[in-house]
């Protein structure tokens, strides 16, 4: 965009603004011959690519991470160390491939968890059914109070 003219940039921002899912504007799927350069750039814009776009100042404040956030980070780092994914795979799946609604609607580490689940299933480390059953089991353990504040040994799958 460094060689773009002011008019091109404004046209791009206006076109992207029309495609925002939060606006719930009815659009049709254009034929390939109807997609010009401006529309193509707007459709292919990733939600985290906000460089050069107008925005309000962000107020920085210190936030201490919650336990689930720290656990998520540690789990995801272990997945990387074990070769399940690369950092670039994780970033792409949690920032680029999710779409604007999920990107803006989920907490930062929530996207990490969603991405970990997607990659584990996509790469067949577990099935979607196994993942769902484990989530149900953990939800039931939390409801019963079992394991709150105590170490829970991992239950490994026997091959």
Which residues does the annotation mark as catalytic? 108
DSSP state of 20: -
Burial annotation 16-42 (CB, 10 A radius, 16+ → b, else e): beeeeeeeeeeeeeeeeeeeeeebebb
Task: Measure the N-to-C terminal CA separation of the chain; round to a whole number of Å.
Answer: 53
DSSP state of 96: I
Closest CA to 126 of 74, 79, 63: 79
| Rounded-to-integer distance, Cα 65 and Cα 124, Å | 31
Residue with tokens 């049709």: 28
Longest pairwise C-alpha distance within the chain = 62
């Amino acid at each position: 965009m460094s060689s773009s003219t002011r008019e091109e940039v404004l046209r791009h921002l206006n076109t992207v603004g029309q495609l925002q899912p939060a606006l719930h504007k009815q659009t049709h799927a254009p034929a390939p011959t109807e997609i010009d350069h401006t529309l193509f750039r707007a459709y292919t814009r990733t939600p985290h690519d906000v460089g050069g776009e107008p925005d309000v100042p962000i107020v920085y404040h210190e936030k201490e991470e919650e336990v689930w956030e720290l656990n998520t980070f540690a789990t995801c780092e272990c997945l990387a160390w074990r070769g399940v994914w690369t950092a670039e795979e994780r970033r792409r799946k949690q920032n680029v491939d999710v779409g604007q609604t999920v990107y803006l609607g989920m907490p930062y580490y929530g996207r990490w968890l969603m991405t970990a689940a997607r990659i584990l299933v996509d790469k067949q480390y577990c099935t979607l059914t196994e993942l769902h059953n484990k989530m149900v089991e953990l939800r039931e353990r939390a409801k019963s109070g079992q394991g709150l504040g105590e170490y829970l040994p991992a239950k490994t799958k026997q091959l």
